[in-house]
Amino acid sequence: MIALHNVSKVFSGYRAIQSVSLTVHKGEIHGIIGASGAGKSTLLRLMNLLEIPEEGKVEVNGQMLTSLSGKELRQARKSIGMIFQHFNLVANKTVYDNVEISLQLSKFQRSKRKERVSECLRFVGLEQFKDKYPAQLSGGQKQRVAIARALANHPQVLLCDEPTSSLDPNTTAEILGVLKDINQLGVTIVIVSHEMEVIRSICNRVTVMADGQIYDTVTAEPTGIEPIENSPEYFIEQLTKAGGANA
């Protein structure tokens, strides 16, 4: 589904990714974890050529992206959705318009756009928020809008760059639940996170990165998504129990 062949990325003489080869299988939730600066986000961004490699080849859905013309790449990218830590919504556009943008860009048939936007907003549980602006939403709701936008063009792959790193534990669990639902529709997911619990809860295989290289790729048994109590009492209990901040 996704294959990186000896891919390298250089920033101002610094080799951030060093001749990496990796295969992500169709239908899996593939995690990428590692220390800050290990090259996780760069590796993810190479999968849709948001970063262009200096060396190597990138193949997605049977197409060699690194050999495509600009026009062909734009077409191929319709089947690769992406979400980000800071959501990247357009502040002066409504929830509806934020999702419709991706349909406009892909020249999705105009007469069917409204129906598709509604479908995607319904999927993420935000249909009633369609006329709100991003500033009127919580972090979790913003990420749901970003997910709806990423799904609009029926992607086969969803790339997730630290999708829950700005969210509290309960909202993290909700968003991971949405990602799991998307995966069950047949969408292959690649998720970059520095949070072990996030990776452990939903990933089938995990690539561990260090210093711009793959240290190892392991098969994992997802532990499941457990919402964490988020009440003030819960925070006090966690801070004051043995081993906590006051111990």
Ligand X SMILES: Nc1ncnc2c1ncn2[C@@H]1O[C@H](COP(=O)(O)OP(=O)(O)OP(=O)(O)O)[C@@H](O)[C@H]1O
Which parts of this chain interact with ligand X (CB under 6 A)?
11-12, 16, 34, 36-42, 194
Nearest to ligand X of 12, 109 (CB atom): 12
Tokens matching residue 137 = 């939403």
Our CA dihedral for 89, 95, 99, 105, rounded to 10 degrees, sits at: -70
Nearest to ligand X of 38, 95 (CB atom): 38
- Find the shortest distance in angstroms from Cβ 166 to ligand X: 13
- Find the shortest distance in angstroms from Cβ 79 to ligand X: 23
The alpha-helical segments, DSSP class H, found in the chain are 40-46, 70-77, 95-105, 113-123, 139-151, 169-184, 196-202, 232-240
Euclidean distance between the first and the last CA atom of the chain, given in angstroms as a whole number: 49
Nearest to ligand X of 32, 89 (CB atom): 32
Nearest to ligand X of 95, 203 (CB atom): 203
The DSSP element (H or E) to which 195 belongs, if any, is: none
What's the chain's length in residues? Answer: 247
- Find the shortest distance in angstroms from Cβ 131 to ligand X: 34
- Find the shortest distance in angstroms from Cβ 32 to ligand X: 8
